[in-house]
C-alpha cells in the first residue's frame, strides 16, 4: 500500500541523544587549543559544590576558560608523559587530575587568581549527609526568626503560619495568643536541632535553613598551576576536593 500522506504529529519534546564521543572530542580539542591561547593553567578543587557560586566564578573569570569533564580525557589532552604532552612540562599536572577536578585557563597573574579564591568563600546552607560544623539549638520560649542567632533586639517573632511546619519537623511548638512558643519538658534549655560533628539528615538541614543558619563554606582550592612562558609547574597547598562544569 502507498504510504499515508496524512499529517503526522511530531513531538517537540523529543531531543536527540547526546553524542558522548563528540563531547569527548570537543573537550580534548578545546583544552589543547587553550594551552596555546592562555598564559596559565590551574588545576582546582571545589568544596561544597554549589552551581550558584560556580556561576559567580565563571562571571568573574569571563576572560578565561573553565573546564570540567572526565579526568581521563583531560589528562589525555594535557599529556600523560613528556612524549605525549601538549606543551613542555604540562603533563606534570596530570597527577592532580583525580576525583572531581577542573581546569582554569587564564592570562591573569597567578597572584591575582590565588588572591581571588582565598577571599571568595561564601557561606551556605548545609546539605543532608554532610557533617555538622557547629551545634544549633532553638531557645526556650518565644520562637524568633533567627532562633537566637542574632541579638534579641534585632530579631522578630516567627510567623504563626510556620508553626505547623515546625511541629511536622518534630519541634514541640504551639500557638499562644498568636505567637509561636517552644514547649519543652522541665529542665530542657532548648530544642537541639544538631550537634557539631554529627551527620545531618534532611529534617535537620530543613530546620537550619528555616532559621537562616549557614554552616557550609563554598571553597575553591587551587592544587597546582603551569605557566606557558617559563614552562614550569608550581604546586600549591591543597586543602580540599573539587568540581566544576564545562
Q: Are 176 and 103 part of one and the same domain? A: no
What local confidence, expressed as pLDDT, does residue 182 receive?
Answer: 93
In a domain, 241, yes or no: no
In a domain, 79, yes or no: yes
How much of the chain, in percent, has pLDDT values that exceed 90? 65
Q: Are 34 and 57 part of one and the same domain? A: yes
Q: Are 186 and 118 part of one and the same domain? A: no
CATH number at 91 reads 3.30.70.1730
In a domain, 246, yes or no: no
Evaluate if residue 239 carries a pLDDT over 50.
no
Q: Are 35 and 144 part of one and the same domain? A: no
Q: Are 107 and 31 part of one and the same domain? A: yes
What band does 11 get if pLDDT is binned at 50, 70 and 90? low
What local confidence, expressed as pLDDT, does residue 122 receive?
Answer: 86
In a domain, 242, yes or no: no
Q: Are 226 and 206 part of one and the same domain? A: no
In a domain, 1, yes or no: no
Q: Are 223 and 118 part of one and the same domain? A: yes
In a domain, 244, yes or no: no
In a domain, 45, yes or no: yes
Q: Are 99 and 44 part of one and the same domain? A: yes
Q: Are 136 and 201 part of one and the same domain? A: yes
What local confidence, expressed as pLDDT, does residue 208 receive?
Answer: 96
CATH number at 176 reads 3.90.105.20
Q: What is the per-residue pLDDT across 25-79, written as a single tens digit (0 to 9) for each?
A: 999 999 999 999 999 999 998 876 667 788 888 899 999 999 988 899 999 999 9
Give the total number of structural domains in the chain.
Answer: 2
Mean pLDDT of the chain: 87
Where is average pLDDT lowest: 5-19, 139-153, 204-218?
5-19
Q: What is the per-residue pLDDT across 94-129, written as a single tens digit (0 to 9) for each?
A: 999 988 789 999 999 999 999 999 999 888 899 899
What local confidence, expressed as pLDDT, does residue 242 receive?
Answer: 37
In a domain, 204, yes or no: yes
**Distance of alpha carbon 236 from the chain centroid:** 21
> Could you list the residue range(s) of the whole structural domain that residue 68 is in?
24-122+218-235
Q: Residue 63 forms beta bridges with which residues?
A: none
Q: Are 165 and 78 part of one and the same domain? A: no
Query: Do 77 and 28 form a contact (C-beta atoms < 8 A)?
Result: yes
pTM over 0.85: no
Q: Residue 145 forms beta bridges with which residues?
A: none
Q: Are 47 and 112 part of one and the same domain? A: yes
Q: Are 58 and 112 part of one and the same domain? A: yes
Amino acid at each position: 500500500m502507498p504510504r499515508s500522506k496524512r499529517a503526522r504529529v511530531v513531538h517537540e519534546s523529543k531531543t536527540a541523544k547526546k553524542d558522548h564521543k563528540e563531547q569527548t572530542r570537543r573537550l580534548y580539542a578545546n583544552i589543547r587549543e587553550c594551552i596555546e591561547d592562555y598564559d596559565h593553567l590551574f588545576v582546582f578543587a571545589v568544596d561544597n559544590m554549589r552551581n550558584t557560586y560556580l556561576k559567580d566564578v565563571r562571571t568573574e573569570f569571563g576572560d578565561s576558560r573553565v573546564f570540567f569533564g572526565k579526568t581521563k580525557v583531560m589528562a589525555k589532552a594535557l599529556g600523560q608523559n613528556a612524549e605525549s604532552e601538549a606543551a613542555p612540562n604540562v603533563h606534570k599536572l596530570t597527577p592532580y587530575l583525580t576525583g572531581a577536578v577542573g581546569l582554569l585557563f587564564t592570562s591573569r597573574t597567578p597572584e591575582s587568581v590565588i588572591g581571588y579564591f582565598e577571599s571568595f568563600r561564601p557561606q551556605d546552607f548545609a546539605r543532608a549527609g554532610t557533617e555538622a560544623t557547629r551545634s544549633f539549638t532553638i531557645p526556650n520560649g518565644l520562637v524568633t526568626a533567627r532562633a537566637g542567632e542574632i541579638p534579641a533586639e534585632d530579631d522578630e517573632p516567627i510567623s504563626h503560619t510556620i508553626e505547623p511546619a515546625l511541629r511536622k519537623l518534630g519541634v514541640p511548638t504551639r500557638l499562644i495568643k498568636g505567637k509561636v512558643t517552644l514547649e519543652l519538658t522541665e529542665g530542657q534549655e532548648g530544642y537541639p536541632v544538631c550537634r557539631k560533628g554529627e551527620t545531618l539528615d534532611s529534617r535537620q538541614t530543613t530546620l537550619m535553613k528555616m532559621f537562616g543558619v549557614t554552616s557550609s563554606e563554598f571553597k575553591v582550592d587551587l592544587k597546582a598551576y603551569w605557566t606557558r612562558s617559563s614552562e614550569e609547574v608550581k604546586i600549591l597547598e591543597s586543602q580540599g576536593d573539587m568540581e566544576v562544569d564545562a
